[in-house]
Structure 1
Amino acid sequence: MIRATRFLLLLWLNAVMMPAAFAAADPLPSWNDTATKQQMMQFVEQTTDKNSPQFVPVAERIATFDNDGTLWAEQPAYFQLFYAIDRVKDQADKHPEWKTEEPFASILKGDMEGVKKSGMEGLMKLVMVTHANMTTAQFYQSVEQWVQTAKHPVTNKPFTEMVYQPMLELLNYLRSNGYKTYIVSGGGVEFMRTWAPQVYGIPPEQIIGSTIKTEFKLVEGKPAITRLPEIDFIDDKEGKPVNIQKIIGRRPVIAFGNSDGDLAMLQWTKAGSGPRMSLLLHHTDAEREWAYDKESSIGHLDKALSVAEKEQWIVVDMKRDWKQVFPQ
């Protein structure tokens, strides 16, 4: 009788304690328990509590994230550039003129400084040669094959493993609290839509980026969307809030970036009525990742950091606020 009573008591204690244990589970285990983490979680709790004066209806819970340098790494160059470089190398046999034409000549010699010296004109030539004059299906297949085999030049990891574990947790945490997460990036939208849904859990229609012009045509008798060698829209700086308004139609409640290219999106988000949260990721960890800001041409962070400090936005210090950087 005593044993039976004790067994029933243990069952009752488990029934009472288990829900509390699950409720106490940390949704952001890769974040250190700093004021940054506490501010973020407090904001989410307040905006999702119906009894809170800061409550935000589910339909209005929009969170936008930059990609390069915010959701995955961006050093020593934007990863989409590495895709373009590999495409040039793959096609070089068909283009003997590239041996003397920039930026292709520098690419084939492995001279990244020469590629940089070609400037915006060289970059546009590179993008048009490697991203256009094919159907969207052909481009998708090309990027998909590259993602499966390409490795980061410094870490030798697949590029899709160069994503930030703390940010994956934050995306999941927001979605579990009714937030709809979007990518708003300067990168090519079709490039990201190839791999980002599987990596971030964000569907293609919630990925916004730069675009080149396209047209509908019949290719070998079949309907297709063809990518043209002409820029349509650059989704960077002031273009970000413009595209958010055009495509989403709602001002974000939360916006997260890492560079001056994200400043306009963060300002526009914070200027909205009601509770708003703008966040900047500051790359301060040279040991586990890279440390850079105002001196870097990649992910240049200067004015946005000054505005964030003045306006009291949340600045995430990678070295201080993250227990872990990449997935293990």
Structure 2
Amino acid sequence: MTDNIPRSAIDRRALLSMLALLPVLSAPLVSISASAQTTTSSGALPSWNDGPAKQAILDFVRDTTGPGSPKFVLPEDRIATFDQDGTLWVEHPIYSQFIYCLDRVPAVIKAKPALAKVEPFKTVLSGDREAIAKLPLRGLEEIAIATLSGMTVDEFDAEAKKWLETAKDPRWKRPYTDLTYQPMQDVLSYLRANGYKTYIVTGGGQDFVRMYSDRVYGIPREQVVGSAGETTYGYDKDGKPFLTKEPKVLLNDNNAGKAENIHLMIGRRPHAAFGNSTGDRQMLEYTKAGDGARLSMIVLHDDAQREYAYGPARGLPDTKVGTFTQALYDEAKKDGWTVISMKNDWKKIFSFE
């Protein structure tokens, strides 16, 4: 179930709301130390080409952490937020979490055989990718509800953990967690080395990302803010408490929800924010509107050879997965955000290149 789906067939807002139902899993803890001392910029950001984007990061860190700088930011206020899909790792041709949902359908059918003759499950079982891509929004919602809820957190943990350990991206033939952008890993490390606390602020499932955030990004679970579903508390026959995932969205962490949930979950306006699509617009606006030195950066996917090219900003192909409109590009230029060209600003995309 991991072949390509046409990129124009999936609606981002609908998918992210559904994916909010994904539950909490655990991952090995990676200890990442952050020093309040400003490190030298010599050798920093090695996966970046020299240019305005790289220099903007170096200047920002120098200005906000250098002793005596008029733009100095107190250590407790050094907050940087990062969207995940399309900003920290690959999101095309479809979000990895939704691929998980499709791959989970056979297990759902096994538990409830009658669904095999009912849409949209019948279409998914057919394996016809074009037909799957044409499923209506209601059908996608039914798939998400069936695959992401109705079981205990522990039961879901085991299934999702197994999938992440075995599923591979069809293009690169690697686990999805290998497909992080090395230049953004450089930024995460550089900011932390200079006293910044890094957060993931994702429209995807908060619980799903928390499963691997420590291991993949060096970001503790408690520093992941995302869309979240409700759970209910109960007891098994032996009186042991457990949580059950419910088909109800508690937090929608997309668009304005990102700024709102940054306030709710972090309680401080970021001094730096990184995104790649219209879903990140309000987070970037909110960050840039703060007093003092602020850095808002947005990734433009313009490298079809090494990754993907989509926009439709700058005449790139249109998409519903990670849409970066010309209007958003114009706003970035007008308001002083830095646009990152994947093609021109990054020496390499992945660590395994």
TM-score by length of 2: 0.84
Return the alpha-carbon distance in structure 2 between the equivalents of residues 89 and 57 of structure 1.
Answer: 52
Return the alpha-carbon distance in structure 2 between the equivalents of residues 151 and 64 of structure 1.
Answer: 27
User: Which of the pair has more CA radius of gyration?
Assistant: 1
CA contact (8 A) 1:36 1:321 kept: yes
Aligned to 1:135: 152
CA contact (8 A) 1:134 1:227 kept: yes
Alignment of 1:268-279 (within 5 A): 268-279=286-297
CA contact (8 A) 1:185 1:210 kept: yes
Higher mean displacement: 70-79 or 120-129? 120-129
What whole-Å deviation, never above 9, does each CA across 1:35-93 have from its counterpart, x for those lacking one?
A: 21011111111100121111000100110100000000001101100111111133333
Matched, 1:182 2:182: no
Q: Cα–Cα, structure 1 residues 171 and 24, in superposed 2: closer, same or farther, change >3 Å?
A: closer
Q: SS state of the match for residue 300, structure 1?
A: coil
Return the alpha-carbon distance in structure 1 between the equivalents of residues 195 and 218 of structure 2.
Answer: 14
Aligned to 1:8: none
Quote how far apart the aligned CAs of 1:137 are: 2.5
RMSD: 1.5
Alignment of 1:1-328 (within 5 A): 23=40, 25-220=42-237, 221-294=239-312, 295-302=318-325, 303-328=327-352
Quote how far apart the aligned CAs of 1:24 are: 6.4
Return the alpha-carbon distance in structure 1 between the equivalents of residues 120 and 251 of structure 2.
Answer: 23
Return the alpha-carbon distance in structure 1 between the equivalents of residues 302 and 258 of structure 2.
Answer: 25
Return the alpha-carbon distance in structure 1 between the equivalents of residues 283 and 131 of structure 2.
Answer: 32
Quote how far apart the aligned CAs of 1:118 are: 2.6
Higher mean displacement: 254-263 or 146-155? 146-155
Return the alpha-carbon distance in structure 2 between the equivalents of residues 194 and 323 of structure 1.
Answer: 29
Return the alpha-carbon distance in structure 2 between the equivalents of residues 139 and 78 of structure 1.
Answer: 19
TM-score by length of 1: 0.90
Higher mean displacement: 54-63 or 302-311? 302-311
Structure 2: give runs of 5+ residues left out of the alignment. 1-38, 313-317
Structure 1: give runs of 5+ residues left out of the alignment. 1-21
Quote how far apart the aligned CAs of 1:116 are: 3.3
Return the alpha-carbon distance in structure 2 between the equivalents of residues 304 and 103 of structure 1.
Answer: 34
Return the alpha-carbon distance in structure 2 between the equivalents of residues 230 and 300 of structure 1.
Answer: 26
Q: Cα–Cα, structure 1 residues 216 and 40, in superposed 2: closer, same or farther, change >3 Å?
A: same
Instruction: Give 2:240's aligned amino acid.
Output: K
CA contact (8 A) 1:147 1:195 kept: no
Instruction: Give 2:275's aligned amino acid.
Output: G
Higher mean displacement: 217-226 or 62-71? 217-226
Instruction: Give 1:241's aligned amino acid.
Output: A
Instruction: Give 1:193's aligned amino acid.
Output: R
CA contact (8 A) 2:41 2:58 kept: no
Greater helix proportion = 1
Instruction: Give 2:67's aligned amino acid.
Output: K
| Residue identity (%) | 45
Instruction: Give 1:199's aligned amino acid.
Output: V
